[in-house]
Amino acid sequence: MHTWTKMRQKLEQEYLAESLRGRLSYFVTTYHAMHDGDEGRVAVRLDGAEILKSNFFERFDAMWKKYEILEQDPAVPDPWRQSAVEAIREGSFYQMDFYRAFREFDSRSITESLASENALVRMLALLDRRTGKRTLEKLRVPMQKAPQWLQMIYFIRLEAEHMPLLQERKPMKKGILFDLDGTLWDSSAECTEAWNTVIREQTGRTEQFTVDDMHNFMGRTMEAIAALMFPSLPEAERLHILELCTAHEHDFLRSHPARLYDGEREIIEALAKDYALGVVSNCQDGYIEIYLDQCGFSELFCDCECAGRTGKSKGQNIRLVMERQGITDCIYVGDTQGDADAAEEAGIPFIHAAYGFGRPDACAAAVRNIKELPEAAANIFSEKRSN
């Protein structure tokens, strides 16, 4: 058990941030003349002035008021304990609360202390030398939900570290994410040839598909494509055949590159100057990488994702790429209704690549040629900004 003298020595000399040593101090006392030896007060002083203070009577008055409310709620398992937590959160505490907070703080890591439900423990952690500038910066958003008195302590620490009290607003990062098939390249002829070869030579089945069939398959999940191709087969069998098809497709495309759209390189280079670019498709894992290997400008794309790797929907993968890349303002470009639905799921505008394979019900803009894309994207971003 630490005496108050030892506690204070540890808090003000061992734990306290260098920037506040000699400026910030703690005061704790007990009212020995009172009938209850637990009665006392606590204060935090900065440059000699008490910036935070409370006592036994304030704490128990606040606690009882909280308890009268909480005991009416059957969802609260321990209203007496919770009322004490709430009282401290509101800034009402006394010396025994401070001693208990110190013992918790002294026995835990700084990370655990910063996450404690006890606001006094979090206060000690905010003032601790082990809480560096990076951690302080990361706490800006969580601290907005902290009680006002704890926010005051946080701002005192920021000021002592010569950090801005208000978070600097970062400019919005704009991005354009692309579907692949029918948007960035047309591999339908190559895929059709590869799949028909596998079906004919490896399965003994008689089905053979056309390029128009492949256009209908593009943009769908592998499960949906398999169901369209072999509706009478059990799901496991038709998926197995499709896996054989896509495996050969990858090999075939490496030696038979698919067709890019006219002017695509110049358009992607122009867009990359103003936006973060990425590719999101419902394809199998490895398919986007073949496009990136063959297009000749893969360095212009910052990210890619597909259902074959994550198992997520296209809309979820769009959000995943946005989060990974810090994109705050985004457009999705695709050619099918599935692409439009994915953009809606992700909560972003959709540009229809009308030169592709599908005809979605609605879009924010449509481009008949990839060369029209920069103007269409600029108009959408401009409209969003004005709204």
Is 167 inside any structural domain?
no
> Which structure tokens are listed for 195?
């799949």
135 and 87 housed in the same domain: yes
Q: What is the CATH number of the domain that holds 262?
A: 3.40.50.1000
Is 292 inside any structural domain?
yes
pLDDT band of 215, cuts 50, 70, 90: confident
The beta-strand segments (E) located in 217-283 are 259-260, 276-281
**φ and ψ of 108, to 5 deg:** -120, 165
For residue 162, the tally of other CB atoms under 10 A from its CB is 8
Query: Looking at residue 182, what is its pLDDT?
Result: 92
Sheet with 24-30: strands ordered across: 24-30, 40-46, 49-55
121 and 88 housed in the same domain: yes
Is 312 inside any structural domain?
yes
Which of 240, 255, 270 is a domain's end point? 255
115 and 229 housed in the same domain: no
Q: What is the mean pLDDT of residues 128-154?
A: 90
pLDDT tops 60 at residue 188 = yes
Residues 6+ apart with CB under 8 A from 121: 101, 104, 105, 108, 113
Is 77 inside any structural domain?
yes
12 and 118 housed in the same domain: yes
Nearest to 39 by CA among 98, 96, 87: 96
The structural domain count of the chain equals: 3
Worst-scoring range by mean pLDDT, 6-10, 202-206, 220-224, 268-272?
Answer: 220-224
Q: What is the mean pLDDT of residues 282-304?
A: 92
Q: 9: domain range?
A: 4-160
pLDDT band of 226, cuts 50, 70, 90: confident
42 and 98 housed in the same domain: yes
195 and 304 housed in the same domain: no
The beta-strand segments (E) located in the chain are 24-30, 40-46, 49-55, 174-178, 185-186, 259-260, 276-281, 303-306, 329-334, 350-353, 365-367
What is the chain's mean pLDDT, rounded?
88
> Which structure tokens are listed for 357?
């394979």
Is 169 inside any structural domain?
no
Query: Looking at residue 242, what is its pLDDT?
Result: 85
Query: Looking at residue 348, what is its pLDDT?
Result: 96
* Spatial separation of the C-alpha atoms in residues 259 and 279, rounded to whole Å: 17
273 and 227 housed in the same domain: no
Is 19 inside any structural domain?
yes
44 and 69 housed in the same domain: yes
pLDDT tops 80 at residue 257 = yes
Query: Looking at residue 132, what is its pLDDT?
Result: 94
* Spatial separation of the C-alpha atoms in residues 248 and 231, rounded to whole Å: 22
Query: Looking at residue 34, what is its pLDDT?
Result: 54
More confident residue, 1 or 126: 126
Q: Which helix (H) or strand (E) holds 342?
A: helix 337-346
232 and 266 housed in the same domain: no
**3-class SS at 127?**
coil
pLDDT tops 60 at residue 190 = yes
Is 165 inside any structural domain?
no
Q: How long is the chain? A: 387
226 and 364 housed in the same domain: no
pLDDT tens digits, one per residue of 35-76: 555 677 888 999 988 888 887 777 778 777 877 787 788 877
156 and 51 housed in the same domain: yes
pLDDT tops 70 at residue 98 = yes
Does residue 92 contact residue 63 with C-beta atoms inside 8 Å? yes
285 and 353 housed in the same domain: yes
Query: Looking at residue 111, what is its pLDDT?
Result: 94
Is 62 inside any structural domain?
yes
